[in-house]
Structure 1
Amino acid sequence: MQSEHIFKQYDAELEAVRAKVLEMGSLVEQQIVDALESLVTSNPKLAEAVIKKDHLVNALEVQVDEDCSHIIARRQPTAGDLRMILMMIKTITDLERIGDEAAKIARFSQKSFETDRMWTPRFAEIKTMANLAREMLHMSLDAFARSDATKVLPIAQMDEQVDDQYQMTIRQLITFMLEDPRTISMSLEVLFVSKAIERIGDHAKNISEYVVYMVKGKDVRHITMKKMEQEAARP
């Protein structure tokens, strides 16, 4: 009876940490949406809200890190439980960095407002990339919540699309700057936001790869797309 109680308490501790990771993911996801919206709508209050949420994300990272350390020390988890804990420790690092990228975009928005400069850059050029990165994060968090390792392949494919969009944006911006030096300032602004979005996509892809490790015990980082397809097809 005592042993059963201990196991139930252990499961409750793991579930509590898992819930905090998902809460952190939800906060970060909203940060991305609000940061990009603040650019499009020239909304300084929305940008400020994104920046204020950053400390909540940081606090959750510290809490989850401490909780995982305590579980490892007290419960000495093995196999799947240990993989899940290691996965969560890695995931919160990527989520915190995604939050940082969203906050960067929000601070850039504020700077534009403070200098009375309208957000006129070609945001349409990076809108597709932004939507892809947001969807990648959503899918990665959903994969974690469902312990679904099959999402890694479509997320990796979306990451390639984000990278392609980023490179295309760079080429377009170079053309604009060469043709009209007056667009240099605007082009650098678009590049700043584009790079932040590209990094968000990279972190989202990392999380999906951690899910595969958690579920299957396989490390799929830094492998080719073909090998990833083979791994995703395995039960």
Structure 2
Amino acid sequence: MPTKKEDMYGDHISHQFNDDLSQLKSDFLDMGGLVEQQTIDAVNALIDGDSDAADEIRARDKVVDRMEMTLDEEATRLIARRQPAARDLRFVISVIKMVSDLERVGDEAKKIAKFALTLAEEGQAPRGYVEVRHIGNHVTTMLHDALDAFSRLDAHQALKIMREDKRVDEEYQAATRTLLTFMMEDTRNISRCMSVLWVLRALERVGDHACNIAENVIYMVEGEDVRHTPVEEAEKVVGR
């Protein structure tokens, strides 16, 4: 049985309106699943030195771009035809914003694939892969959980993702310090280590975009904008 909040966007007299909202939600989750897999595959391509996989990831980015354009058109058409108000308007506007975040996650996956190709040609960097794997697992889990929170309209799970973003920032800073120290001790590997640093930066940005999606879920459910808000304040909104 769906909860009240899971069903809050599917209780209109117009069956077509319900179908339109359901389709928008489904298409968004399809795009989310694709960019999540893109990020996982990009990290694996880097660690495995798999240039063929990296090439495929870069080619699939065009699919992500097309999905972004389709979802934008779908949302714009829904607004024009249905003129949604209140909670429905929050839903559609939030989807438009979150689609932009997903497209940027796809861009970050494409960047990682680019550096995977570079390192496959130059030879693997001597350090940084453990950190890439760890942070990569962390941010892809955040992204997965953010999409799940959207699917179930779960503000409490979204709040957990906001808390995780701080941990990712700390992990990224620690990994960067470790790699910079190694580079200063052995300057022969600066070029390859810099590639790993850029990969770590891309992964940290994936975490930021997952957090943005979580913030929009809270806005959809609670009706309050928690962007640029300390987690403690967001906790008050969700905990009411």
Cα distance in 1 between the residues matched to 2:22 and 2:132: 37
Cα offset, 1:111, TM superposition = 2.4
> Taking structure 2 as the reference length, what is the TM-score of the superposition?
0.91
* Aligned match of 1:137: 143
Unaligned runs of 5+ in 1: none
In 1, the alpha carbon distance for the partners of 2:175 and 2:192 equals 13
State the TM-score, normalized to the length of structure 1. 0.93
Cα contact 1:32–1:99 (8 A) shared by 2: yes
**Structure 1 match to 2:67:** 60
Match of 1:151 among 150, 154, 157: 157
Could you tell me how far apart the structure 1 residues matched to 2:49 and 2:189 are?
A: 20
Q: Residue 123 of structure 2: SS of its match in structure 1?
A: coil
Match of 1:95 among 73, 98, 102: 102
Cα shift at 1:117? 2.1
Q: Which residue of 1 aligns with 2:44?
A: 37
Query: In the alignment, what sits opposite 1:122?
Result: 128
| Deviation readout 1:159-215 (Å, 9 max, x if unpaired) | 111100111122112211222212312321221100000000000000000001111
1:167 maps to which of 170, 173, 180: 173
CA RMSD of aligned residues (A): 1.7
Contact 2:54–2:116 (Cα < 8 Å) also in 1 = yes
Select which of 217, 220, 223 maps to 1:214: 220
Q: CA deviation at 1:6?
A: 7.0
- Listed one character per residue, the Cα deviations across residues 213-235 of structure 1 (whole Å, up to 9, x for unaligned) are 1111111111112112222212x
User: Which residue number corresponds to residue 192 of structure 1?
Assistant: 198
What amino acid maps onto 2:225 in structure 1? D
In 1: Cα distance, 2:180 partner to 2:117 partner: 25
- Identical residues among aligned pairs (%): 43
Asked whether 1:16 is paired with 2:55, we answer no
- Does residue 97 of structure 2 align to residue 105 of structure 1? no
Q: Distance in 1 between matches of 2:52 and 2:186?
A: 33
Q: CA deviation at 1:118?
A: 3.3
Among 183, 193, 212, the residue aligned to 2:189: 183
| SS in structure 2 at match of 1:221 | coil
- The ranges of structure 1 where at least 4 consecutive aligned residues each deviate by more than 4 angstroms after the TM superposition are none
Q: What residue identity is the alignment partner of 1:218?
A: E
Counting matched residue pairs gives 230
Whether 1:202 and 2:225 are equivalent positions in the alignment is: no
AA in 2 matched with 1:179: E
User: Structure 1 pair 179/208, CA: closer, same or farther in 2 (3 Å)?
Assistant: same
Shift in Å at residue 127 of structure 1?
A: 2.2
| Alpha-carbon separation, structure 2, partners of 1:81 and 1:75 | 10
- Tell me, yes or no, if the aligned pair for 1:42 and 1:119 is still in contact at 8 Å: no
